[in-house]
Amino acid sequence: MITLITNIKELLQVRNLPIRKVSGKEMNILPTIKNAFLILKDDKIYDFGEMDNLPKIKADKIIDASNKIVLPTWCDSHTHIVYAGNRESEFVDRINGLSYEEIAKKGGGILNSAKKLQNTSEDELYQQASKRIEEIISLGTGAVEIKSGYGLTVEAEIKMLRIIKKLGQNYPIKIKATFLGAHAFPTAFKENKDAYIDLICNEMIPAVAETNLAEFIDVFCETGYFSVEQTERILKAGKKNNLIPKIHVNQFNSIGGVEIGVKYNALSVDHLEVLNINDIEALKNSQAIPVALPSCSYFLSIPYTPARNLIDNGLPLALASDFNPGSSPSGNMNFVVSTACIKMEMTPEEAINAATINGAYAMNLSDSHGSITKGKKANVIITKKIPSYNYLPYAFGSNLIDTVIINGEIISNKN
């Protein structure tokens, strides 16, 4: 099956030489081809270039993209898409003055979602998560990471990971799984936190490794959640079982979690709304990619990750949605890109790099996703007719996507 896209106003994120991520000043460079063609063969990118150099080719399908922009699909490296129901009552509590942390202390927050999830069947949870996956695909996401962490028992954590695996089998986008048993302390362990760390290290992690249900391990390292010492124990046990660390860190406080993430070679360090100079220095000496979650800052009215500070220090940055019921009930990466430009002083070039190639890096997917490169997955967004790519973040809230193609197949065409 060959699909030829012609007359593309501008083809974005064209990388002839495969790259893994972009950092610092490079983030402001977005290579493009104007008046371009793109050829997709089966599920891969086959060829691209200027229209003047269009080769003679027999295509099964031709799409005219006059006045439209084509770019790789979004790579959303941080979500919690498998959850039961919603938490809109906590949303109203926050409007009425309670903070996210106060709600959590009252047994709301993550524990509220855990109770709901434990009492919901695997089938029902799968159905709820499917709708969210279908929505994010229609919004241009072509690869996504999903975490467990609303189970908080061996059984319920494994249930979540089985659902993530099934989603990956049934949907065409790439789905990566992360074990996040260390998301919150269950009420039963409130007085004996070490026992929960034992449960994670001695039972949950071996069960996850044995069933091969996750590639990554994550910990919510934060005051009132998991301390730096507890985080270290968990990452150590994860590493022993070949789980690659990722970490929720510095959302509300800088407590030394960034250093621990770096020490254990975390692939990504996520949130970073609160950053100090030691955190920046630690990140400079690592391969870990910082991941900012602007929808979470927007929804909780907390500070935005200081993107300029990170990028101006030569660091890379990825953007992700954090889609979850408590701090970001939205998986819309178009909104994420807009908000990064509007609130985090990122340029459109930086934001698009952060949501494509750098998002792919944060999921270990740079070899197959995140750029227009021959041989990579044929995952592209075709926009509606728009004046330039700057219009994507500028016209926030408008759906500017015309067509999403995943593995060479048109998924949604909303005209």
Q: Which residues bind ligand NIG (CB under 6 A)?
A: 109-110, 113, 220, 248, 251, 296, 322, 324-327
Binning the chain into helix, strand and coil, the percentages to the nearest 5 are: 40, 25, 40
Largest interatomic CA distance in the chain: 71
Shortest Cβ 248–ligand NIG spacing (Å): 5
**Smaller CB distance to ligand NIG: residue 73 or 327?**
327
Q: In whole angstroms, what is the distance from residue 32 CA to residue 251 CA? A: 35
Compute the least distance from the CB of residue 150 to Fe ion, in Å. Answer: 11
Nearest-approach distance from CB 221 to Fe ion, in angstroms: 12
Distance CA 326, CA 331 (A): 13
Query: Between residues 327 and 330, which has the closer beta carbon with respect to ligand NIG?
Result: 327
**Contacts of Fe ion in 307-346 (CB under 5 A):** 322
What is the smallest separation between the CB atom of 238 and ligand NIG, expressed in angstroms? 17
Tokens of 83: 């959850």
Buried b (16+ CB within 10 A) or exposed e, 63-73: bebeebbbbbb
Question: Is 273 in contact with 58 (CB distance < 8 Å)?
Answer: no
Total residues at interface with Fe ion (CB under 5 A): 1
The site partner of 316 among ligand NIG, Fe ion, none (C-beta below 5 to 8 Å per kind) is none
Residue 334 interacts, among ligand NIG, Fe ion, none and using kind-specific CB cut-offs from 5 to 8 Å, with: none
- Closer by beta carbon to ligand NIG, 331 or else 348: 331
Q: Residue 118 or residue 368: which is nearer to ligand NIG going by CB?
A: 118
β partners of residue 409: 406
Name the binder of 327 from ligand NIG, Fe ion, none, CB < 5-8 A by kind: ligand NIG
Indicate the SS3 state at residue 87. coil
Which residue minimizes CB distance to Fe ion?
322
Task: Establish if 273 lies at the interface with Fe ion (CB under 5 A).
Answer: no
Ranges of beta strands (E only) in 223-278 are 244-249, 268-271
Of ligand NIG, Fe ion, none, which one does residue 181 interact with (CB within 5 to 8 Å by kind)? Answer: none
Select from 389, 413, 388 the least CA-distant residue to 401.
413
Look at residue 348 and give the partner it binds from ligand NIG, Fe ion, none, a contact being a CB closer than 5 to 8 Å depending on partner kind. Answer: none
* Residue 279: CB minimum distance to ligand NIG, A: 17
Rounded to a whole number of angstroms, the minimum distance from the CB of residue 78 to ligand NIG is 7
CA distance 252 to 39: 46
Residue 326 contact partner, candidates Fe ion, ligand NIG, none, CB within 5 to 8 A by sort of partner = ligand NIG
> Which residues on adjacent β-strands are paired with residue 12?
32
Residue among 324 and 356 whose Cβ is closer to ligand NIG: 324
Query: Exposure string (b/e) for 290-307, b if CB count within 10 Å is 16 or more?
Result: bbbbbbbbbbbebebbbb
Residue 386 binding: pick among Fe ion, ligand NIG, none (C-beta 5-8 Å cut-off by kind): none
Closer residue to ligand NIG in complex, CB, 305/324: 324
Q: How far is the CB of 139 from ligand NIG (least distance, A)?
A: 19
First to last CA, the chain: 24
**380 φ, ψ (degrees, to nearest 5):** -140, 155
For ligand NIG, the nearest residue by Cβ is 326
CA distances for 52 relative to 23, 36, 39, 47, angstroms: 33, 8, 14, 14
Contact between 76 and Fe ion by CB under 5 A: the answer reads no
Q: What are 131's two structure tokens?
A: 């709708």
The number of residues making up the chain comes to 415
Shortest spacing between CB 109 and ligand NIG, in angstroms? 5
Q: Are 359 and 41 in contact (CB under 8 A)?
A: no
CA 397 – CA 393 distance, rounded (Å): 9
Instruction: Choose among ligand NIG, Fe ion, none what residue 296 binds, the Cβ cut-off being 5 to 8 Å by kind.
Output: ligand NIG
Residues that bind Fe ion (CB under 5 A): 322
